Structure 1
Amino acid sequence: MRVVLLLIRFLAIATITFSIGLCNGNPAWPPLCKEIERQALLMFKQDLKDPANRLASWVAEEDSDCCSWTGVVCDHITGHVHELHLNSYHSFWDVKSSFGGKINPSLLSLKHLNFLDLSNNNFNGTQIPSFFGSMTSLTHLNLAHSEFYGIIHHNLGNLSSLRYLNLSSYNMKVDNLQWISSLSLLKHLDLSFVNLSKASDWLQVTNMLPSLVELIMSNCQLDQIPHLPTTNFTSLVVLDLSGNNYISLMLRWVLSIKNLVSLHLKGCGFQGPIPSISYNITSLREIDLSFNFISLDPIPKWLFNQKDLALSLEDNQLTGQLPSSIQNMTCLKVLNLRSNDFNSTIPKWLYSLNNLESLLLSENALRGEISSSIGNLTSLVNLDFNYNQLEGKIPNSLGHLCKLKVLDLSENHFTVRRPSEIFESLSKCGPDGIKSLSLRNTNISGPIPMSLGNLSSLEKLDVSGNQFNGTFTEVIGQLKMLTDLDISNNSLEGAVSEVSFSNLTKLKHFIANGNSFTLKTSRDWVPPFQLEILQLDSWHLGPKWPMWLRTQTQLKELSLSGTRISGTIPTWFWNLTSQVQYLNLSHNQLYGQIQNIVASPMSVVDLSSNHFTGALPIVPTSLSFLDLSNSSFSGSVFHFFCDRPNEPKQLFYLHLGNNLLTGKVPDCWMSWRGLHALNLENNHLTGNFPMSMGYLQGLRWLHLRNNHLYGELPHSLQNCTLLSDVDLSGNGFVGSIPIWIGKILSELLILNLRSNEFKGDIPHEVCYLKRLQILDLAHNKLSGMIPRCFHNLSAMANLSVSFRPGGCNAILVTKGREVEYNKILGFVKSIDLSCNFLFGEIPEELTSLLALQSLNLSNNSFTGRIPSKIGTMAHLESLDFSMNQLHGEIPPSMTTLTFLSHLNLSYNNLTGRIPESTQLQSLNQSSFVGNELCGPPLNNNCSANGVIPPPTVEQDGGGGYYLLEDKWFYVSLGLGFFIGFWIVLGSLLVNMPWSILLSGLLNRIVLKLYHVIF
């Protein structure tokens, strides 16, 4: 018996040792991997693209055991390959680490493979290989978000052993789902984002899967829930049908699934109240009905029976007060009412829900104070009140919430007299206290208090957008657990040394822009952290490059705008940026040439407002945003745009304006089809408008102002139907304004054709542009009358505001000067038709454009009167009718223009008294000169009937002789001119050659005047 026990012990020790040897990849042990499977994996690798060389361990050497290769899991007894873990992470940004290429059928040699994960890779639009349907040993298959494309093969139904199937993808679709009914062992099915619009049988098929535990079909373009006589989802625990637009009342069959624990129906278009049911359901622990139109009047009683319930009704357009019936849901664990429109105070009953672990009320309009009774919610782990209108004191009773880990009180109007009290109260729970604290934009001022250092458990701190002043105190350096720190946009200043960071070894995100710090470190400083996000805009870092940056090899975002760095960009810096997704070095004193820009795919690069010279750099085709404006780049743009024509460019925003670029705008835009914004303004570009720009069908913003372009606008531009901002001013374009601009470019918000050579009438089709807010046709050769249909420009008639994405700007001439608009561009509404040859009366219809802020019709030949209803244009700030032939009186309604700060009616034929109003009388006299007007602000007094009285001797104020002397002066001047003229002319007439020359000269003068006038 003893021998048997010793033998068993020996075998156990031997087995354990053998296993350890395998796990450690001990070369002393013979390879476990089967040779046929090793060769199959090597063949698979051969067709695979591996830009990050993640499969470096997959080598062909005989002593290389495939069971020790990256991503390979073998059975420790048989040595067969059981699992392949070849998924990637963050595939949208980190394309370099994703696998691609082809999937070799050699995988069929892995007869014992039961787990295959190829998710989050980039197989570039290929179909799921059909041979996958023959890998019948698989129990787990995950192909989610790997850029597979097309119809899913029905032969996946042959994988009858599958327990887990995830085919989630934006690019795949099905014609039906009958093949799924063969997967009777399936427990988890995820078809998120797959187009199931043709799969009308989806509910009947999934209802027949007896083992199904999780069913996820979110965003699958399902627009109806088919009738289901009976429900067989006996095992179903998780159901997610979010993002399918059912546009109907929530159907009761969902609630008839009696064992359901988690229900997700976000964004399904459900309307009305949550339905009542007659049977008892108590299993639900999570209900997410966010982004619908659900009503809480009434709340059904069955909701009160759910224990430890997490209820999310985010963004359901709920208004008024928080429903008082919620207080009956005493077992609520999570209450998410974010992004609604509750506009009451926080009700007292809310503080009695002492089982709540998460209370999320952000982005409402809650007002009043937070009661000290908040301290009763001792189970709270997460409290979010950000983006409300709360005021008063932040209660000290928050310090009683010792389970609280996340607190967000940002974007409110609190009164904080002693910031130290906040941090003192939150530190009462000791070292295992709060981990995330956000007090962004909460009106806190004063120095950063020392009591902040007591929050030793803090991992995330955001106090941005306040009025903290003083220096970067050592107290921040005491927060050793910090991973995220945001102190941006305060009034902090002074020197910051490397000592301040010595304890921040875990720091990943450091955002401190918008302060006035000076960083002082030694040249060889090595920070104790590895940052992913660094934003130090407006710090004083220069003039030398901060060498410590080269140690930060994990950076994803880097912003050093306006930091006074000078010099050329060092070579090591471009090695650093290979994985950076956001790079901003704008507004520095950088100079020299840039050969290549190195950046992560889909990244943003802003190098604007520096002093770079030479040709434009070579940029990655995968870049998404590039701003090289306001520098001194020079030379032709041909190579930048036309090299690598077969490589589609991912760029959607390109700004090369305000440089010294020359040559023709190239005609090779076919590979730039992703562009949404193109800005080449203020360069020296020449030539015709390129025809191939018609390929830019996604283009929204086109700025080519102040170049030397000429010719007519090509018809191909009408293919760019999404254009909203067009600025072609300051060029030499000719011809008439195309009628297709009004007919086809219906999205136009800004049309600026100023300072060109356009002629002819303003086309009536312009009136179709109902979204147009800015129309500038000044300084052309346009003739004819203003179309009376201008009243159809409805965006100028109402006070709506257009959404303007960041980076969009426009330079407009208003109030006699150029103004650049950016942040408030969506509010601006103006018309400028000045300096043309327009004639006729100013149409009364213009006065229906009630939201117009600037109207300039100067330097034309308009006749008639100023429209009598001009006063209805209540938002006018600038009005210029000067240098026309208008007559009559200034309409009395003009006195109601209370926003008017710039008015020019000079050099017309206006008569009568200037209407009296605070606004008009405060204007300069130059606004009215060159007319027969009288009254303030002019010095001309009016007679009783409102005209300038005839001058009298008494009016001269110089002893009574001024008028007489004035008359004799003009008589003498006329007589002298007459005598002198005939003396010269008589001598020329006597001399025949001179007489012929004079006659020819006079003829040319007359002809010239005729062409000018007529």
Structure 2
Amino acid sequence: MENSNSVVMVFLIIFATSSAISFCNGNLDMLCNENERQALLTFKQDLKDPMNQLSNWDESGDCCNWTGIVCNKTTGHVLELHLANNLGGKINPSLLNLTYLNYLDLTMNDFGGIQIPSFIGSLKSLINLDLSNSGFTGIIPHQLGNLCMLKQLDLSDNNYALVSEVLANLSGCTVNSLEILELDRNQLSGQLPDELLGQFRNLVVLSLTSNSISDPIPESLGKLSHLQMFDVFSNRLNGSLPESIGQLAELQIFYISFNLLEGEVSDIHFANITSLEDLYASGNSLTLKTSPAWLPPFQLHSLHLNSWNLGPELPQWIQRQTVLSDLRVSNTSISGRLPTWFKNFSAQLDFLNISCNQLYGEFPVMISLPYSVFDLSSNQFSGSLPPIPSTNVGILDLSNNLFSGSITDFMCYLNGGPNMLRKSDNSSILSLGNNLLSGEIPNCLMNWNNLMVLHLENNNFVGRIPSSMGYLSNLRSLHLRNNNLSGELPSSLQNCKLLLNVDLSANKFGGRLPQWFGASFSNLSVLNLGSNNFHGDIPPELCNLKYLRILVLSHNQLSGEIPRCFGNFTAMAILQNSSDPTSIMISTGDWQFLENALLTSKGRQFEYSTLLKLVVNLDLSDNNLLGKIPEELTRLVRLQSLNLSMNRLIGQIPSKIGDMGLLESLDLSRNQLSGQLPPSIASLSFLSHLNLSYNNLSGRIPTSTQLQSLDGSSFIVNQLCGPPLAQNCSESDRMPPGVEEEEEDREGNLLEQSGFHLSLGLGFAIGFWTVLGSLLFNTPWSIVCHRLLDIAVLKLYSIIVEYF
């Protein structure tokens, strides 16, 4: 018996050893469960895989080694399926064979607007379901409510309708287990249902950002006692903030920015929120009513209250937020001087936005400023620019204040010391426009070599543009308008090859327009050189600026002809391509820096920012330009405003002016244009401003709803007739019906034909009058001949028009 046991033991040892050796040698390399492997292969058959991501899903492979598969290392069962990005097609129900699947990730795909398959509600082991941004639409199947193990559900970036319907279809055992629910960026509308919302008592995260959810936030929100994050950023929620939020003891993140909330918020709303870290509530019409001695129960990292009513003083309780690094209280009716405690408090901030208030006086001198964003704009701060010792300021906006004096110390030296040169490697935006600053622009811009935006407009700067401007190789936007700058543009400026927007208008710059503009600024979208002293011809090299949408050269001393190649401005002629450079918009949270342009159109000045990308404008007015208006300009069919007034242009208005169907403003006044108005001008159906006055135009004003609705002053000091002018037209002013006016150079074509055509015409005339002339004196024959003559003349006219 003893020997028998020994034999069995030896056998088992040998078997175990051989099995281990076989496993190590790869004989048991098929860890994947066979039924589940076949289910995955069937699932793959219905998928579209243009990027061939699932190329290693084949008959012979171990599915646990396939792309996107996570298996249990012991049992071989498929636990997780991660198939994000660029898949499409259908979702095969073979997934039901993955009975141990607890994580299904199909995000960032395109399933073409199909409904979420109802069978997913039968994957009982699911803990995490991510179907975000995958092109699902329709009704969320109620079967998802059967997922009793589900903890996290993300259906963001799809296309669903009513938020109440979504929540209703998730009722069931899902309500009791769900901890994270994300429905961001859908098209959800309607109200958050009070009775349904309160059922999700285990929710930790509820995210509904960027939808169209309306009505007040329900009181039942206070029942979600485990809620740590509530995000309804950018919806249409209205009414007052429910006091029940004060019961959310575990709430850490509260995002309600950009809704329609109104009313008062008191300390009751924050009574028990001891864990709150980030309060984002900007863009509402809420008023904070707390006592001066109120001590908040929380310590915030971020506080966003833009557009609230906080005034008249900055709330004192803010100074007790010892870990606060991000403070945004723009447009909050704060006035007066900043409190004395703000000087030391501000040293802890990384982000400060106190713009658009009524603060005045000198800004407190600070020992340390580690800001990434520092926005004091649109207040009434005065005195010298505040010393900024730190070199870490990424975005610095001091515009629209009353700062005065030189900027040399501010830009060139640390702490105002001449031996401590500034080096601002991290600065991307410097905006000092609309102040009372003076002196020269210092020649130390190489210290700010990472600047993307430099705005110094509407100050009192003098002198030339410093040569060190050429070191700003990352510069996208340069605004120097409305100063007293002079001289020629430095050649070093052509090193700023990434420029999108250049506004040097309303200065005293002179010389010729640089030819290198066309070669160096290949991405340029906006160029405004108006109201300067530039002279000479317009260089045709400007025509290489294929992205140029706004060109203003008005109020200079430019001469010569308008280059015909202006018709090659691609961005003015065709619809904008998605790859075109876009207007600058830098945003951080709810803080945005928008590019802008100040333009004259329809006889008035407009400032464009949000809509700048849509504006297309060409203004060459008030120069000494000669010659005819090039017919090629009519190719610029995206133009909204064209101003060629106050020049010395001659000839006719181009016959194809009607091709510029988006024109809203057309000013050709105070030139020497002649001839009749082209009939095609009547097709400018968007035209709301037209000025053709003070020219030598003649004939009838074409009939259209737009033209006759304009004021008669648009046509004065010409020889025009017909509505809206009081002067009636004579028969001689009538144009042959259905015949469009030809441009002036075509009118001369008949006289420039070959001698053969001229001889033929003269011979015809002599022969015609020799034979028929005598008959005209006989009355009966005269009547007949006049009729024949009318027919012949009309026939001849039509032949000439068709031929030439």
Instruction: Tell me the TM-score range normalised by the shorter chain.
Output: 0.7 to 0.9
| Residue 535 of structure 1, CA deviation | 0.6
* Structure 1 residue 629 displacement after superposition: 0.3
> Is contact 1:327–1:349 with CA below 8 Å preserved after alignment?
no
Is 2:147 the partner of 1:374?
Answer: no
For residue 186 of structure 1, what is the aligned residue in structure 2? none
Q: Provide the residue aligned with 1:211 in structure 2.
A: none
Deviation at 1:310, TM superposition (A): 3.2
Q: 1:452 aligns with which of 217, 221, 236?
A: 221
| Counterpart Cα distance in 1 of 2:270 and 2:161 | 34
> Which structure 2 residues correspond to residues 666-815 of structure 1 after superposition, within 5 A?
666-800=442-576, 802-806=581-585, 807=593, 808-815=595-602
TM-superposed CA distance for 1:719, in Å, is 1.2
1:594 and 1:586 map into 2 onto residues whose CA distance is: 13
1:472 aligns with 2:241: yes
Q: Conserved in 1, the CA contact under 8 Å of 2:596 and 2:608? A: yes
- Shift in Å, 1:944: 4.2
Name the CA distance, whole Å, in 2 between partners of 1:889 and 1:618.
64
Between the two proteins, the alignment pairs up a number of residues equal to: 662
CA distance in 1, matches of 2:393, 2:450: 11
Distance in 1 separating the partners of 2:708 and 2:367:
61
Q: Which residue matches 1:201? A: none
- In the alignment, the residues of structure 2 paired with residue 684 and residue 926 of structure 1 have an alpha-carbon distance, to the nearest angstrom, of 38
Q: Look up the match of 1:545.
A: 314
Residues 816-875 of structure 1 deviation map (CA, whole Å, 9 limit, x = unaligned): 111111111111111110111111111111111222221111111111111122222222
Determine the C-alpha separation between the residues in 2 that align with 1:600 and 1:285.
Answer: 51
Q: Residue 554 of structure 1 aligns with which residue?
A: 323
Q: In the TM superposition, what is the alpha-carbon distance from 1:906 to its structure 2 partner?
A: 1.8
- Spell out, residue by residue over 1:70-99, the C-alpha distance to the aligned partner (whole angstroms, 9 max, x if none): xxxxxxxxxxxxxxxxxxxxxxxxxxxxxx
What residue identity is the alignment partner of 2:677? I
In the TM superposition, structure 1's runs of 4+ consecutive aligned residues that sit over 6 Å from their partners are: none
CA distance in 2 between partners of 1:666 and 1:339 (Å): 50
Aligned equivalents of 1:744, 1:326: Cα separation in 2 = 59
Q: Shift of the alpha carbon at 1:750?
A: 0.9
The separation in 2 between residues aligned to 1:933 and 1:554, in whole angstroms, is: 74
Matched, 1:399 2:171: yes
By how many angstroms is 1:739 displaced?
0.5
Structure 2 residue runs without a partner (length 5+): 1-24, 32-49, 71-75, 415-419, 586-592, 736-804
Q: 2-side partners of 1:796 and 1:353: how far apart?
A: 56
Aligned mates of 1:793, 1:599 — CA distance in 2: 49
Q: Indicate if the aligned counterparts of 1:934 and 1:947 stay in contact, CA closer than 8 A.
A: no
Q: 1:309 aligns with which of 67, 75, 80?
A: 80
Counterpart position of 1:986: none
Give TM-score, length-normalised by structure 1. 0.62
Q: Which amino acid aligns with 1:791?
A: G
> Sequence identity, in percent?
48
TM-fit CA distance, 1:916: 2.1
Q: Which residue of 57, 61, 65 corresponds with 1:280?
A: 61
Query: Secondary structure in 2 aligned to 1:399?
Result: coil
Deviation at 1:782, TM superposition (A): 0.4
Deviations 1:563-615, CA, capped at 9 Å, x for gaps: 11122223432333334222100011111112535666461011100010100
Give the aligned residue type for 2:156.
N
SS, match of residue 852 in structure 1: coil
Deviations 1:942-997 (A, max 9, x none): 3345459xxxxxxxxxxxxxxxxxxxxxxxxxxxxxxxxxxxxxxxxxxxxxxxxx
1:604 and 2:376 matched: no
**Structure 1 CA distance, aligned partners of 2:66 and 2:294?**
52
Q: Distance in 1 between matches of 2:485 and 2:408?
A: 15
Q: 2 CA distance for matches of 1:790 and 1:360?
A: 52
The whole-number CA distance in structure 1 between the counterparts of 2:129 and 2:314 is 46
Deviation per CA, 1:112-142, whole angstroms, max 9, x where unpaired?
xxxxxxxxxxxxxxxxxxxxxxxxxxxxxxx
Structure 2 vs 1, CA of residues 909 and 674 (structure 1 numbering), >3 Å: closer, same or farther? Answer: same
Asked whether the equivalents of residues 140 and 169 of structure 2 are also in contact (C-alpha less than 8 Å), the reply is: no
1:530–1:706 distance in 2 versus 1, CA, 3 Å: same
Q: What pairs up with 1:198-277 in 2 under 5 angstroms?
A: 274-277=55-58
TM-fit CA distance, 1:752: 0.5
CA drift of 1:516 comes to: 1.7
Change (3 A) 1:946 1:341: farther
**Deviation, structure 1 residue 673:** 0.8
Are the counterparts in 2 of residues 345 and 369 from structure 1 also a CA contact under 8 Å? no
Give 1:777's aligned amino acid. Answer: L
Q: Does 1:876 align with 2:663?
A: yes
CA distance in 2, matches of 1:342, 1:901: 46
Structure of greater relative contact order (alpha carbons < 8 Å, 6+ residues apart)? 2
Amino acid at match of 2:608: Y
Matches within 5 A, 1:15-54: none
Q: 2:397 aligns with which of 627, 631, 645?
A: 627
Deviates more, 1:401-410 or 1:768-777: 401-410
- Indicate the SS of the match to 2:656: helix
Aligned with residue 648 of structure 1, among 419, 423, 432:
423
Q: Given the alignment of the two structures, is residue 410 of structure 1 paired with residue 184 of structure 2, yes or no?
A: yes
> CA 1:595–1:326 in 2, change beyond 3 Å: closer, same or farther?
farther
- DSSP 3-state at the match of 1:641: helix
The AA in structure 2 aligned to 1:819 is F
Q: Deviations over 1:632-669 (max 9, x none)?
A: 00011111112146441121100000000011111111
Offset at residue 326 of structure 1 (A): 7.5
CA apart distance, 1:287: 2.4
Partner of 2:292: 523
Report what 1:837 is aligned to: 624
Unaligned stretches of 5+ in structure 1?
1-230, 238-268, 290-304, 949-1014
Q: Using the alignment, how far apart are the partners of 2:611 and 2:109 within structure 1?
A: 26
TM-score, length-scaled by structure 2? 0.78
Find the counterpart in structure 1 of residue 653 from structure 2. 866
Counterpart amino acid of residue 524 in structure 1? A
1:382 aligned partner, one-letter code? Q
Alpha-carbon offset, residue 363 of structure 1: 3.7
2:702 counterpart of 1:915: yes
Q: Classify the secondary structure of the residue corresponding to 1:444.
A: strand
- Deviation, 1:328, is 6.1
Q: Does 1:924 align with 2:711?
A: yes
**Matched AA of 2:113:** S
Q: Is the 8 A contact 2:116 2:141 kept in 1?
A: no
Residue equivalent to 2:437: 661
Aligned in 2, Cα 1:395/1:547: closer, same or farther, shift over 3 Å? Answer: closer
**Distance in 1 between residues matched to 2:675 and 2:94, nearest whole Å:** 69
Q: Which one of 189, 196, 201 corresponds to residue 425 of structure 1?
A: 196
The letter for the 1-side match of 2:495 is N
Whether 1:488 aligns to 2:257 is yes
Q: Deviations over 1:719-776 (max 9, x none)?
A: 1111111100000000000001111111211111010000001101101111111111
* Deviations 1:893-920 (CA, angstroms, capped at 9, x unpaired): 2233222222222222222222222222
Q: Would you say the 8 A contact 1:693–1:717 is kept in 2?
A: yes
The one-character-per-residue Cα deviations of 1:320-347 (angstroms, maximum 9, x if unpaired) are: x554478567455434444444441324
Q: Give, in whole Å, the separation in 1 of the partners of 2:412 and 2:69.
A: 50
SS at match of 2:355: coil
What CA distance in whole angstroms lies between the structure 1 residues aligned with 2:554 and 2:94? 62
The 10-residue stretch of structure 1 (646-655 or 751-760) with the greater mean CA deviation from structure 2: 646-655
Q: Distance in 2 between matches of 1:754 and 1:643?
A: 34
- Measured in 2, the distance between the counterparts of 1:946 and 1:342 equals 65
Q: Deviations over 1:486-539 (max 9, x none)?
A: 122222222221122111100011111112222122222111001111111111
- Structure-1 residue corresponding to 2:153: 383
The 1:667/1:547 distance shift into structure 2, 3 A limit, reads same
Residue 343 of structure 2 aligns to a residue whose secondary structure is helix
Aligned to 2:359: 590
Q: Answer yes or no: is the 8 Å Cα contact 2:212–2:235 preserved in 1.
A: yes
